[in-house]
């Protein structure tokens, strides 16, 4: 373990590095990007990033793969119906809770 002061130094450095990575492009690129390729690239970035984080982790985030699947199916259905973020999240959590209770895994 580290001494108290050293812990806070490490925390400060963690925070500083994380913040700089986040803030630099945002504050440097202030104008509108005109380049066709870069513009298109940045247009697709959010969808590629988010999709790459879904599988396979979402299958193993609950007590069992069955409850995770239940949650995923509920999320897919409600998102397809274009329900609000809150609604989708609430019902997905509820579905997982119920399935886990039924399977008696807790």
CB of 34: closest distance to other proteins in angstroms?
9
Q: Is 101 in the site for other proteins (CB under 8 A)?
A: yes
Any alpha helices (H) in 1-106, and if so which ranges?
A: 4-28, 36-54, 65-80, 85-103
Restricting to residues 33-92, which ones interact with other proteins according to CB under 8 A?
33, 36-58, 61-63, 67-68, 71-72, 74-76, 78-80, 82-86, 88-90, 92
CB of 85: closest distance to other proteins in angstroms?
4
Q: Is 29 in the site for other proteins (CB under 8 A)?
A: yes
> Nearest CA to 68 among 49, 93, 91, 51?
93
Whole-number Å distance between alpha carbons of 106 and 89: 21
Query: Which of 23, 65, 66, 102 is close enough to bind other proteins by CB under 8 A?
Result: 23
- Count, residues near other proteins per rule CB under 8 A: 81
Give residue for tokens 């809770």: 97
Q: What is the DSSP letter of 84?
A: -
Q: Is 103 in the site for other proteins (CB under 8 A)?
A: no
CA angle 56–60–65, rounded 5-degree value: 105
């Amino acid at each position: 373990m580290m001494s108290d002061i050293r812990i806070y130094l490490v925390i400060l450095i963690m925070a500083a590095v994380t913040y700089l990575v986040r803030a630099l492009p945002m504050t440097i690129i202030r104008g509108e990007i005109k380049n066709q390729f870069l513009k298109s690239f940045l247009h697709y970035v959010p969808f590629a990033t988010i999709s790459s984080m879904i599988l396979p982790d979402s299958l193993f985030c609950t007590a069992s793969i069955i409850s995770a699947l239940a949650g995923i199916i509920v999320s897919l259905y409600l998102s397809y119906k274009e329900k609000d973020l809150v609604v989708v999240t609430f019902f997905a959590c509820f579905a997982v809770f119920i399935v886990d209770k039924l399977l008696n895994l807790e």
